[in-house]
Structures are given as C-alpha cells and as structure tokens.
C-alpha cells in the first residue's frame, strides 16, 4: 500500500507544464499534470495503455481524437488505449490533473 497527499505533487514551472509521478511500476503509473494559464500539452497517444484523468483544480480543455472537451474541478475523463489526447489551460488560474495509466490486457 502507498498513501499520497496529491497536493505535494502540484508543482508548477513558468517555462512549461509539469508532470510529477507519484507511482510507477511495470503495469501502471500515477501522476499529476500541472498547468499555469495558457500552458498546454501537445496531443499524443499511449498505445496499449488506458488513461484515467481527474481534475483536482482549475479548468481547461482536453482534446481527444480531435474532439474538444471542456473540464473543471471534479470532472473525470477516461481514454482508451490509443486515443490521442492533448490539453490547454484556458483559465486565468492554475490547473492540476491527476492521472493513472494502466497497461491493457489483450
């Protein structure tokens, strides 16, 4: 068992968004993505891995396979393996998103 206080992984950088891992093993990982206003994450995909995201703080827009999805604190998003995902902080405040990624079993 591992217990984590996610606030300690909310670390921001003026230059670019940050990704802070809090769990990483051979099957899965947990992380927090942190964005200052206007920062973004280029659309990309994770072949063979399912992705679950939960907005801890703030609001912004995910793009999943070209479809824009506005999110705010308390929203969650699930992406199947291979879906292309990006994000932009469209707000005037900070955004933190907790994510878990798990290898799929085929």
The contacts of residue 11 (CB under 8 Å, 6+ apart) are 18, 20, 34
What is the rounded distance in angstroms from the CA atom of residue 94 to the CA atom of residue 73?
A: 11
Classify 32 as helix, strand or coil: strand
44-68 residue pLDDT tens = 999 999 999 999 999 999 999 999 9
Query: Is the separation of the CB atoms in 22 and 72 below 8 Å?
Result: no
What is the rounded distance in angstroms from the CA atom of residue 87 to the CA atom of residue 95?
A: 11
Locate the domains of the chain by residue range.
19-103
**Positive/negative CA dihedral, 80, 81, 84, 90:** positive
Please state the pTM of the whole predicted model: 0.94
> Could you tell me the two tokens for 99?
């994510």
Question: 19-103 domain in CATH 2.60.120.10?
Answer: yes
Note the pLDDT of residue 66. 95
What is the rounded distance in angstroms from the CA atom of residue 55 to the CA atom of residue 29?
A: 17
- Spans of the chain below 70 pLDDT: 106
Note the pLDDT of residue 2. 87
């Amino acid at each position: 068992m591992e217990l984590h206080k996610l606030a300690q992984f909310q670390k921001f950088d003026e230059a670019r968004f940050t990704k802070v891992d809090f769990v990483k093993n051979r099957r899965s990982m947990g992380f927090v993505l942190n964005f200052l206003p206007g920062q973004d994450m280029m659309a990309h995909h994770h072949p063979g891995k399912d992705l679950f995201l939960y907005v801890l703080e703030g609001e912004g827009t995910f793009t999943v396979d070209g479809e824009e999805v506005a999110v705010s604190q308390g929203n969650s998003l699930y992406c199947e393996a291979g879906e292309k995902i990006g994000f932009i902080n469209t707000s005037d405040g900070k955004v933190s998103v907790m994510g878990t990624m798990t290898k799929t079993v085929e």
